[in-house]
């Protein structure tokens, strides 16, 4: 009987540092969200890839819908060959789309699919991949595809942790990819930093879903030209404040920092704060809580930190009244 291997992976949400982190050297705080996607993999006479997003499966013959998974398989295959493995075909099944009522919830599905595919293949070939190598391989896939993101989502999902991610120069690594072979790229110094954040501040992390999907790629194209050096400087300061506050249990530093991070985004571009996201933030008034948009904005999710249980309950109720659904709730410390 052929053995079936199971792997899982989660999603992510930005707490602070969005858009700024698109510029190399800037930092964002990104929270791992353990809402899971699953994959099974087993030996098969031919390649057979399937995802519950689609009602058909494919082999390695290029298919537009399956391009992300197929390109990931081909890059990991390249990696395996370079390590001296003999390739053998498999059946890979992916399930657990990040959706509610048929709408995407915006917690990082494309990044998760890449990480999931790499993890499944690593299980199948019995190779150990560190979180860091997982991040590099996944970034390699997206950089090769010409993705315009910071790769912060991949860092968070690969590390499965609440992280501070300081971004690398993607232009430079793209050039490295174009001019060098895979192993050289994977072992080069990319210049990023990924630090897990150990929260000691007693607080709860809440995620509110607006019910309106937004496409990060389009939002980036819209907002990018508005990113100024002033925005970058101010954002870096508040991101560092929030990280320190969370680590050193300084509630004031965290509250003020998050509020300011939200205001900086609001000022950056009018498309970021949709009406529902404004309501999501406004709902914290009168509670010991602070909220802001998460990620690219324009819809998807907002995040909040609450500092007592009463505030959590009241905020969730207020969100409900505004048609905002609680997607995730977690005590951070």
Instruction: Identify the residue whose tokens are 């082999």.
Output: 59
Site map for ligand PMV, 101-130, x if CB under 6 A? -----x------------------------
Distance in Å, CB of 299 to Mg ion, minimum: 7
Distance in Å, CB of 27 to ligand PMV, minimum: 11
Instruction: Tell me if 276 contacts ligand PMV by CB under 6 A.
Output: no
How many helices, marked H, and strands, marked E, lie in the chain?
11, 12
User: Can you tell me the distance from the alpha carbon of 304 to that of 293, in angstroms, rounded to the nearest whole number?
Assistant: 9
Site map for Mg ion, 237-276, x if CB under 5 A? ----------------------------------------
Instruction: Tell me if 19 contacts ligand PMV by CB under 6 A.
Output: yes
User: Can you tell me the distance from the alpha carbon of 263 to that of 267, in angstroms, rounded to the nearest whole number?
Assistant: 6
Distance in Å, CB of 280 to ligand PMV, minimum: 14
Instruction: Tell me if 14 contacts ligand PMV by CB under 6 A.
Output: yes
* String of DSSP letters for 80-127: HHHTTPPP--EEEEEE--SEETTEE--S-HHHHHHHHHHHHHHHHTT-
Tokens of 186: 């994977």
In the complex with ligand PMV, which residue's Cβ is closer, 19 or 205? 19
121-129, 147-155, 205-213, 241-249 -> range binding ligand PMV (CB under 6 A): 147-155
Site map for ligand PMV, 209-228, x if CB under 6 A? -------x---x--------
Among ligand PMV, Mg ion, none, residue 147 binds (CB under 5-8 Å by kind)? none
Q: What is the dihedral of CA 319, 321, 327, 329, to 10 degrees?
A: 50
Tokens of 261: 């991070």
E strands in the chain: 4-16, 27-43, 48-51, 90-95, 99-100, 103-104, 163-166, 193-196, 204-209, 289-293, 301-306, 325-331
Tell which one of 9, 27, 150, 312 touches ligand PMV (CB under 6 A): 150
Contact positions with ligand PMV (CB under 6 A) in 289-318: 295-296, 300
Among Mg ion, ligand PMV, none, residue 19 binds (CB under 5-8 Å by kind)? ligand PMV
Nearest to 293 by CA among 329, 269, 321: 269
Instruction: Identify the residue whose tokens are 């299980």.
Output: 123
In the complex with ligand PMV, which residue's Cβ is closer, 22 or 185? 22
Q: What is the dihedral of CA 31, 37, 40, 45, to 10 degrees?
A: -100
For Mg ion, the binding residues (CB under 5 A) are 106, 216, 295-296, 300
């Amino acid at each position: 009987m052929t053995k079936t291997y199971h792997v899982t992976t989660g999603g992510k949400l930005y707490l602070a540092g969005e858009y700024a982190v698109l510029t190399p050297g800037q930092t964002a705080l990104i929270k791992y969200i353990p809402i899971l996607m699953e994959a099974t993999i087993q030996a098969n006479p031919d390649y057979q890839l399937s995802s519950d997003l689609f009602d058909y499966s494919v082999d390695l013959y290029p298919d537009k819908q399956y391009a992300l998974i197929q390109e990931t398989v081909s890059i990991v295959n390249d990696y395996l060959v370079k390590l001296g493995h003999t390739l053998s075909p498999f059946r890979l099944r992916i399930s657990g789309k990040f959706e509610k009522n048929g709408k995407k919830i915006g917690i990082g599905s494309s990044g998760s699919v890449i990480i999931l595919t790499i993890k499944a293949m690593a299980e199948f070939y019995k190779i150990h991949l560190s979180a860091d190598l997982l991040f590099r391989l996944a970034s390699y896939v997206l950089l090769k595809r010409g993705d315009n993101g910071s790769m912060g989502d991949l860092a968070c999902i690969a590390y499965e942790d609440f992280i501070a991610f300081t971004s690398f120069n993607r232009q430079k690594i793209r050039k490295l990819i174009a001019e060098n072979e895979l192993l050289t790229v994977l072992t080069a110094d990319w210049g990023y930093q990924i630090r897990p954040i150990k929260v000691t501040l007693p607080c709860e992390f809440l995620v509110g879903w607006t019910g309106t999907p937004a496409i990060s790629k389009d939002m980036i194209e819209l907002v990018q030209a508005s990113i100024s050096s002033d925005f970058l400087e101010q954002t870096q300061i508040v991101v560092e404040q929030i990280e320190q506050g969370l680590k050193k249990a300084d509630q004031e530093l965290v509250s003020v920092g998050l509020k300011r991070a939200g205001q900086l985004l609001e000022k950056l571009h009018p498309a970021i704060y949709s009406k529902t996201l404004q309501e999501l933030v406004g709902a914290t008034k009168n509670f010991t809580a602070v909220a802001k948009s998460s990620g690219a904005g324009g819809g998807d999710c907002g995040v909040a930190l609450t500092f007592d249980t009463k505030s959590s309950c009241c905020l969730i109720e207020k969100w409900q009244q505004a048609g905002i659904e609680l997607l995730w709730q977690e005590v951070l410390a």
